[in-house]
Amino acid sequence: MRVNARTWTMGLLCWAMGLGLWVSGTARAQIPEAYAGTPTQERIAAWLKSDIGRDRAWGAYYAAQTKDVTLLPELVRMAERWEALPTHSDPDIPTLRGQTKLEPEQVDRLDAMTAVLDAVILMDGRIPAQGLLKLQGDFPAQTAVLLSRMPEPEVEPTLLTMVHDTDRWHQEQRHVAAALLAREQKPPVGFVASLMHGADVGGMVLVYIPGLTGSSLSGGGCEADIAIVRPQDFDWPQVGQYSLRTNIDVSYATSYRIAGRIQVARIEGTRTISYPHCYEIGDLNTRARLQIVAELLGRDSLDIQTDETTTIFAAGTAEYERKLREFVAQEEQKFLTVETQLQAKGLVTADEIARGDAKPKLMLSLHDYRSNDAKSFELPKIEFPSEQGVEWTTPRMWYVPLQSEP
């Protein structure tokens, strides 16, 4: 059985709604006796140094509650000593290939550090760049908040390291780093050209014979923004659970703006919580690259689209080739217009444009919708000069097979 990826996601959301798990936060519970009252600074410090994850979480919780900045250096040291966990799956989401379930001790470590980072953020603390690089895989949203607070000259090398990180599990972090590098329209030299050059614009070429009407492809919408909360362990404190997204329902979440459209939501909970939503920021893909470039130009979007489509009605190979070349020329003009605008703002150089370093690639895919008895002429994959950056690729799949059944 093949299942559309969007359908699977919406199915998960519907499953949550069916269980009645719409929430505006986690219910408050009575604090366990061992941690009740107003602990002294010495007691909080002892909890922070404990080998028990729950103790460390309560220590961090009370450090934030009492706003005791003298405890902040210890919280930062704890964060800097973080040892990354193996790539793992969320408790509420089916395990993906390459992921594993965490051991109870590892979950305790994860939840204790969640409390520590929440305290650091609430107390306006700072964690050095090398510490953030160790934290980013397990705590991408918290890392984004802390990176956004660092002075630009200090954080730039770290952000460049993150942008060029090829780890498949660091997708959101690459996007965050690129958006932060473009803050205040002061990106590093060569950065904007690399954003443009790394964008692969899809060019769908739909071919029909004259007189037939083509069909269109459409996808479903996604409006929900819900919290799926697994049973909570109230021996642990209520602390901030953070997630990256492009839109936040402020009725139940605190919003931290990072850069561009990227935001971080903070929702209180005790143990590991999953927040499926419709506003994932995704990888530093073509859509993200073009969005960042648009923001640098002070615009909501560019004339360049992530995927462009041309419908060609042709009665012969010559007509097909002519119309295809017209489509490519049209897209080339869009690229040139954006390059010129970027050059006028000093974001790319004339040399970068001349070398083709600031130009997206146009990835053509051929979709032959002629009936079998109408295929009387060839549809060659026409070669274009290398400097045009036009390549042919296979048509994309419009569904993702999740499992196979006999």
Q: Are residues 169 and 207 in the same domain?
A: no
Q: Are residues 41 and 170 in the same domain?
A: yes
Q: Is residue 398 part of a domain?
A: no
Range of 330's domain? 200-218+285-392
Q: Is residue 231 part of a domain?
A: no
Contact present, 79 and 120 (Cβ < 8 Å): yes
Contact present, 178 and 287 (Cβ < 8 Å): no
pLDDT in tens, 251-290: 778 999 999 999 999 988 887 666 667 788 999 999 999 9
Q: Is residue 12 part of a domain?
A: no
Q: Are residues 128 and 204 in the same domain?
A: no
* More confident call, 100 vs 56: 56
How large a percentage of the chain has pLDDT more than 90? Answer: 66
pLDDT value at position 13? 46
Q: Are residues 54 and 136 in the same domain?
A: yes
Helix (H) or strand (E) holding 342: helix 317-344
Q: What are phi and psi of 115, to 5 degrees?
A: -65, -40
Q: Is residue 268 part of a domain?
A: no
pLDDT value at position 26? 38
Query: Which range, of 26-40, 88-102, 126-140, 326-340, averages the lowest pLDDT?
Result: 88-102
Which CA distances in Å does 369 have to 308, 312, 380?
A: 17, 10, 15
With CA atoms as reference, report the closest residue to 237 among 272, 269, 273.
269
Say if residue 227's pLDDT is above 80. Answer: no
pLDDT value at position 27? 41
Amino acid at 308: E
Count of domains for the chain: 2
Q: Are residues 167 and 206 in the same domain?
A: no
Q: Is residue 56 part of a domain?
A: yes
Res. 16 pLDDT band, cuts 50 70 90 = very low
Say if residue 90's pLDDT is above 90. Answer: no
The burial of 80, by beta-carbon neighbours within 10 Å (0-12 exposed, 13-18 middle, 19 or more buried), is given as middle
DSSP letter (8 states) at residue 112: H
Q: Is residue 160 part of a domain?
A: yes
Q: What's the pTM value of the predicted model, to 2 decimals?
A: 0.83
pLDDT in tens, 35-79: 988 899 999 999 999 999 999 999 999 999 999 999 999 999 999
Q: Are residues 97 and 124 in the same domain?
A: yes
Q: Are residues 88 and 174 in the same domain?
A: yes
